[in-house]
Chain A
Amino acid sequence: SAVISQKPSRDICQRGTSLTIQCQVDSQVTMMFWYRQQPGQSLTLIATANQGSEATYESGFVIDKFPISRPNLTFSTLTVSNMSPEDSSIYLCSVVDTWKSFEAFFGQGTRLTVV
């Protein structure tokens, strides 16, 4: 399975600021995704990070709020912009290498608290 490293693991941020979360994979993967897990809730897909092009966002999520980059097949970033307390969540990077299988693996997550 792919080894996924997410940074930072946690952060406490002031409202109105932005935080960029990094996801690094130890091997090239075809697909990378970003999920949000709000306190006590399950995971909700934010967007699919597309290499070299704009991310594909799910309903309820927009690029201005959650800009995503994916410059190559092993790295992606998610920025949470103009944060409010409602953005306090765990943000998770997920990868799928469709050349091998359809199994999805997750990073350890970034626990964000907005005060």
Chain B
Amino acid sequence: QKEVEQDPGPLSVPEGAIVSLNCTYSNSAFQYFMWYRQYSRKGPELLMYTYSSGNKEDGRFTAQVDKSSKYISLFIRDSQPSDSATYLCAMSAEAAGNKLTFGGGTRVLVKP
């Protein structure tokens, strides 16, 4: 079983819809949770970063962490075709020296 599980998709939504992404994990030591966006042939771009449990909002993006359930989510409101990309969750435990463990990525397609 992988340490971090993420549905590979593809997830296809119409423009303007809410995109809902999630990851589950097994390592209770993870405390730092990140979401990255990766366009084809590009490096990952940090979207959201949260520490421990709770919610964080930044523009159209909302990240949620539920450590009791070992479950994290990313919501994208008012989705745009430019949001079409692969979204990767990543997490680390402070004791691990900031090494990131990634989910497999979810491919998202926003149709105009």
Contacts and interface: CB of A to CB of B under 8 A. Distances in A.
B99 A109 contact: no
A106 B97 contact: no
B63 to A, nearest CB: 13
Interface of chain A, main secondary structure: strand
B78 to A, nearest CB: 25
A103 B46 contact: yes
Contacts, number: 59
A104 B99 CA distance: 9
Contacts of A1: 46
A31 B97 contact: yes
A69 interface: no
B100 A111 contact: no
A94 interface: yes
Most chain B beta-carbon neighbours within 10 Å: one of A31, A58, A96, A107 = A96
A111 B43 CA distance: 10
29 contacts: A6-B43, A33-B99, A33-B100, A41-B104, A42-B6, A42-B88, A42-B102, A42-B103, A43-B44, A43-B90, A44-B102, A45-B100, A45-B101, A92-B44, A94-B100, A98-B98, A101-B49, A102-B32, A102-B92, A102-B94, A103-B49, A104-B46, A104-B98, A104-B100, A106-B43, A106-B45, A107-B43, A108-B43, A111-B41
